[in-house]
Amino acid sequence: MKNRHAYLKDMADRIRLCSLEMTSAAGSGHPTTAMSSAEILSVLYFDQMRYDPRNPESLEGDDFVLSKGHGAPGLYAAIREAGIIEDLDPMTLREASSPLEGHPVPRVPGVRIATGSLGQGLSAGLGLAHAMRLDGYDEARVYVLLGDGEMAEGNVWEAINLAPHMGLGQVTAIIDVNRLGQANPTLYQWDVHAYARRLEAFDWHVQVVDGHSTEELADAFAATREDTRPSAVIARTVKGKGVDFLEDAPDRHGKAVSEEELERARSQIEPRLQTIDYRPANRVSLSPVPAFPAPVIGVETDYRRGDMVATRTAYGQALARIGRQDERIVVLDGDVKGSSRTKFFFSGEPRRAVQGYIAEQNFVAMAVGLQARGFRAHVASFAAFLTRAHDQFRMASYSRSRMAVAGSHAGVSIGADGPSQMGLEDVAMMRALFASAVLSPADAVAAEKLTALANGHDGIAYVRTIRGKTPVIYDNATTFRIGGCHILRRSDDDVCVIVASGITVSEALKAAGELERDGISVGLIDAYSIKPLDEQALREAARTVPFLVTVEDHYPEGGLGEAVAAAVSGTTEVHRIAVTKMPHSGSSTALMAEQGIDAGGIARECRELTGGAS
């Protein structure tokens, strides 16, 4: 026992010193927050967590999430001492060629989740824990290290609220209460019992410890395994612990020490270092990560042309179909399964269905944890409500997440519910994500087949669905691809080409028929893949007509029109029809007409542009 804790204290000091050295070499970073959590990291990596340094991503072992991602130097120092990244030079921290980034990303072995935007790590931890349960790894645990500053984030409390309800007793949250934030002291400073009271009220197993006592930390982590509830270890620590001029020093957040200060710090830490004959028992031999390739799944649709079907309903049916074929699919819904139509999956595959309730930030970040352990996460809510989780989607992209997302009730076409329910910014949001795909099906056939394609996309794939019923325009044999489009009308007599997506495709078809009766021929492209666009098809169309007309049930900023204009820049003019007036309640028909995105509005715009009769 004596050697054990002497070893853990020694490892904590090695983590401290390495954190100082690597941030000093980088000239930036957060050494003092790494120093406050040094004992926590030491006890976890050298005493408590089960892992295999040769297979750090093995699904059989425990997981660690550094929610306070600015403490990355401490994590890197710990996993280097643990033998996980022995071949990586810590002095390359923050260099362009190094995987040791300023905040952790999955480029580093043993790091599953990208962190750094505070407040999301615990939610990801819930997803990891649920994945463990689905795979039957009953002994595996998830440890999430949070800073006391991020405890002000609402996302954290969404996770705290849901974990006991889901029975996720594998989760242990460690709160590093070091009192100091970046600009000010944190909300409760060192009042550790303020955190304890709140967590106990949410039915967590709570322990308050001295965060620099390896004995108290080890006992607390051992006790978490004896309680079936999610656990919280509230650790009172000192920012900059171990170096007198850094301890509890304000204005040192995010500042590397100078060379002179580094020598002073070394003179205090190095005399404490020693070689101790002790072999940690928590490092074990585990199996490598199995491959979970996304199967190529097709859906056989059986619609008839002219049938009136809502694309949200077709999406739900497709989700149920592919869920029966792919046992790694998990669906997370935000208390709208009746509206989003995920209810079909929930009734058929209840074990792999997660009700995230009205907490979009939490269940999107949970999906990141689920996919990090090999599940294919599908997330669904109203398109408008998903905008709450923009940062969670952004961080998911940095986690290299594979995630399918469905936003229903898109656009003013939803009608009487009013603008709070209308997704009018969602395309812009999802287009802006790295490696994302944005898909906008016009009918039920497209919705089912694009949902199946989203399941296999290497990145975040967004499927935009419609509340109201639209006519089926495609044969069941029609094929789709991410990055494709369909040319629905084309002739040598076309005076322009309309480019539409979603509900505006059927409106554009009606407009084209009306114009044809007036002797005006227009082409029509269904740009069902808004990102990536079929730029080649669009440029070929643009070369044959004086201008293109885009039409969308979305604000003009960041939508289909801007994407098309960028794709054909320098080739032809692009005239954009979009939602430009303040939305409000009303019938779908009236609202679309008011915005000029219905058949009448499209036909009117084309006549004015071509000089045709009104």
Beta strands 205-210 and 496-500 are unpaired
User: What's the residue count for the chain?
Assistant: 614
Strand partners, 531: 438
Cα–Cα distance measured from residue 42 to residue 24, given in angstroms and rounded to the nearest whole number: 22
pLDDT 10s digits, 431-488: 999 999 999 999 999 999 999 999 999 999 999 999 999 999 999 999 999 999 999 9
Sign of the torsion formed by the C-alpha atoms of 206, 254, 88 and 288? positive
Cα–Cα distance measured from residue 126 to residue 112, given in angstroms and rounded to the nearest whole number: 13
Cα–Cα distance measured from residue 445 to residue 253, given in angstroms and rounded to the nearest whole number: 54
Query: Is there a contact between 385 and 406 (Cβ–Cβ < 8 Å)?
Result: no
Q: CATH code for 2-272? A: 3.40.50.970
Record the tokens describing residue 11, joined without a space: 């490892």
Angle CA 391–20–179, to nearest 5: 60
The three-class DSSP label of residue 190 is: coil
Long-range contact set of residues 242-247: C-beta below 8 Å, sequence gap at least 24: 242/12, 242/13, 242/16, 242/35, 242/38, 242/268, 242/269, 243/16, 243/20, 243/35, 243/268, 243/269, 244/268, 246/31, 246/32, 246/35
Phi/psi at 197 (5° precision) = -60, -40
* Active site (catalytic) residues: 360
Neighbours of 342 (CB within 10 A): 29
Query: Is there a contact between 409 and 339 (Cβ–Cβ < 8 Å)?
Result: yes
Query: Is there a contact between 515 and 612 (Cβ–Cβ < 8 Å)?
Result: yes
Q: Which DSSP state fits 487?
A: E
DSSP letters, 394-463, are HHHHHTT--EEEEEESBSGGG-TT-GGG-BSSHHHHHHTSTT-EEE--SSHHHHHHHHHHHHT-SSEEEE
Query: Is there a contact between 603 and 514 (Cβ–Cβ < 8 Å)?
Result: yes
Q: Within the chain, how many helices (H) and strands (E) appear?
A: 22, 19
HEC secondary structure over 338-354: HHHCCHHHHHHCHHHEE
Residue with tokens 């179909």: 321
Phi/psi at 600 (5° precision) = -65, -40
Record the tokens describing residue 209, joined without a space: 């410890």
Q: Indicate the domain borders of the chain.
A: 2-272, 308-471, 486-610
Record the tokens describing residue 215, joined without a space: 């004995």
Q: Which DSSP state fits 174?
A: E
Cα–Cα distance measured from residue 554 to residue 575, given in angstroms and rounded to the nearest whole number: 15
Say yes or no: domain 486-610 is CATH 3.40.50.920.
yes
Residue 298, pLDDT score: 83
Nearest to 57 by CA among 118, 107, 102: 107
Q: CATH code for 308-471? A: 3.40.50.970
Residue 613, pLDDT score: 46
The three-class DSSP label of residue 507 is: helix
Query: Is there a contact between 182 and 149 (Cβ–Cβ < 8 Å)?
Result: yes
Give 434: exposed, middle or buried? Use CB within 10 Å, 0-12, 13-18, 19+.
exposed
Cα distance from N-terminal residue to C-terminal residue, the chain? 90
HEC secondary structure over 98-131: CCCCCCCCCCCCCCCCCCCCCCCHHHHHHHHHHH
Record the tokens describing residue 253, joined without a space: 């957040």
State the pTM of this model: 0.95
Residue 296, pLDDT score: 77
Q: Which DSSP state fits 256?
A: P
Residue with tokens 């790295």: 434
Strand order, beta sheet including 496-500? 486-489, 522-526, 496-500, 547-551, 573-577
Q: What Rg do the C-alpha atoms of the chain give, in angstroms?
A: 27
Sign of the torsion formed by the C-alpha atoms of 599, 602, 607 and 610? negative
Residue 612, pLDDT score: 64
Query: Is there a contact between 242 and 32 (Cβ–Cβ < 8 Å)?
Result: no
Nearest to 120 by CA among 407, 372, 342: 372
DSSP letters, 27-66, are T-S-HHHHHHTHHHHHHIIIII--B-TTSTT-TTS-EEEE
- Host H or E run for residue 355: strand 353-355
Torsion angle, CA of 581/587/589/593, rounded to 10 degrees?
-20
Record the tokens describing residue 270, joined without a space: 């190095």
Residue with tokens 């819904």: 333
Query: Is there a contact between 5 and 214 (Cβ–Cβ < 8 Å)?
Result: yes
Phi/psi at 181 (5° precision) = -95, -155
What residues of the chain score a pLDDT lower than 70? 1, 612-614
